[in-house]
Amino acid sequence: MMMSRLRLYLCLLLGAAGGLRAPAASDLTNWEHVKVAPMKTSIYIGSVRLTTGTFERKDSTLATTYEAKVVPWFFWGETGRITITLTDTDLASMARGETADFTGEAFNHRNKPRSVTGRVQPATATSGKIKVRIMADGIELIFNSTYEFVDPKRPDRPAVTPPSGK
């Protein structure tokens, strides 16, 4: 009798554990767009405000436009394109609440390259904190913000437009 209870408990435990699994790759297809809140960081006697459009995902690459405004040195401001790499494995880890590191690159309106690195720290399966490091002319700019995966197929989400690019 004790042995049959043990078998019953083991069967129940194994059955319950079978339901615990990482999200399937098909679950990630809804995560095609990522919205990042505007970011700001301080520099010597000034600040830089970074605004991005909605990142669009193609394979493992997320890409969008950006606009950087430098106060009080407005002539140092720039616009351009930025890309970051997050694989399906990274996205599945994020859905489980695990931190993921990323790399990427940016090119300003003069086609000057900027290296990009960062880390995402999920708060939920679809949103959390993001830290972005951009190397610009030998200066590392560190921005902290929040992100949210946006499902374009859901009608209850508002459309997001990229910055003006001016």
- The Cα angle at residue 135 between residues 103 and 49, in degrees rounded to 5: 100
Quick one: which of 69, 65, 15 has its CA closest to 39? 69
More reliable by pLDDT, 27 or 64: 64
Q: What is the mean pLDDT of residues 44-51?
A: 94
Quote the pTM value: 0.73
126: confidence class by pLDDT, cuts 50, 70, 90 = confident
Which residues is 39 bridged to in the sheet? Answer: 50
| Helix-then-strand count for the chain, H and E | 2, 10
For residues 33 and 57, what is the distance between their CA atoms, to the nearest angstrom? 6
* Amino acid, single-letter form, for residue 154: R
pLDDT digits (tens, 9 = 90+) for 96-116: 899 999 999 999 999 999 999
Check residue 114 and report its DSSP letter: E
Q: What is the mean pLDDT of residues 80-93?
A: 92
- Selecting from 1.10.760, 2.60.40, 2.40.128, 3.10.450, what CATH number does the domain 23-150 have? 2.40.128
Domain boundaries defined on the chain: 23-150
Q: Are 94 and 101 in contact (CB under 8 A)?
A: no
